[in-house]
């Protein structure tokens, strides 16, 4: 029998050419949290963030929701961005919110690659996807 299970689901929308909107959900046997945030693509800056706590362990936990606003202005491309998120949002707010934000940050590059590959495949369905992604990595250091 499984005694602990955690799922994270991160989705990315591109509402315009300059922004990516992440929707992140974390569900496990103990906690249930959600984050939605808008990121400016070129510098990775968090422009807007909202969060929701569905399940938590004590009555103080929901006071971590306003702490999320400290994330506005942080860049998900700076060196040490994940440590900054854990320090400012995790330790001063909620570790599980920070975990979702960090997973969204890890998805930023992948989401852009996926968006660009989809566009390239619409132009050339026979495209060598592996080669395209290798070139993408080399041209987007």
Partner 1 sequence: MTLRFLRNKLVEVEPCSDGTLDVFWRLTDDLLKVDARLKIQPPELEITEAEVRMDRFPPSVCQSAPELFEDIEGVTIGPGLRKIVHGLFSGPGGCSILADAVLESANAVILHFTRPAIQAGESVTDDEEKLANTRAMLSANPRLIRSCVAFQDDSPIMQGIEL
- Please report, as ranges, the residues that interact with partner 1 according to CB under 8 A: 1-15, 28-30, 57-58, 60-61, 63-64, 67, 90-95, 103, 106-107, 110-111, 113-115, 117-118, 129-130, 133-134, 137
* Closer by beta carbon to partner 1, 7 or else 139: 7
Q: Which is nearer to partner 1, 48 or 92 (CB)?
A: 92
Dist CA 50 CA 137 (whole Å): 31
Interacting residues of 77 by C-beta distance below 8 A, sequence separation 6+: 43, 44, 108
3-state SS class at 31: coil
Rounded to the nearest whole angstrom, what is the least distance from the CB of residue 43 to partner 1 in the complex? 19
Smallest gap, in angstroms, from Cβ of residue 14 to partner 1? Answer: 5
Return d(Cα 45, Cα 57) in angstroms, integer. 31
Q: Which of 72, 83 has the CB closer to partner 1?
A: 83
Q: Is 60 helix (H, G, I), strand (E, B) or coil?
A: coil
Q: How far apart are CA 85 and CA 97, in angstroms?
A: 9
Residue with Cβ nearer partner 1 (72 or 106) = 106
* Least distance CB 12 / partner 1 (angstroms): 4
CB of 45 to partner 1, least distance (A): 19
Listed as own residue / partner, the contacts of 121-129 with beta carbons closer than 8 Å and 24 or more positions apart are: none
46 vs 96, beta carbon nearer partner 1: 96
Query: Least distance in Å: CB of 113 to partner 1?
Result: 6
DSSP code of 94? -
């Amino acid at each position: 029998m499984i005694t602990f299970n955690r799922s994270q689901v991160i989705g990315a929308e591109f509402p315009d050419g300059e922004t990516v909107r992440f929707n992140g959900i974390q569900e496990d046997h103990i906690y249930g949290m959600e984050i939605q945030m808008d990121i400016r693509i070129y510098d990775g800056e968090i422009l807007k963030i909202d969060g929701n706590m569905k399940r938590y362990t004590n009555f103080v936990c929901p006071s971590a929701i306003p702490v999320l606003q400290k994330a506005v202005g942080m860049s998900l491309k700076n060196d040490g961005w994940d440590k900054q998120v854990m320090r400012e949002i995790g330790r001063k707010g909620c570790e599980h919110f920070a975990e979702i934000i960090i997973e969204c940050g890890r998805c930023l590059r992948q989401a852009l690659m996926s968006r660009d590959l989809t566009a390239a495949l619409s132009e050339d369905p026979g495209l060598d996807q592996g080669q395209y992604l290798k070139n993408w990595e080399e041209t987007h250091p």
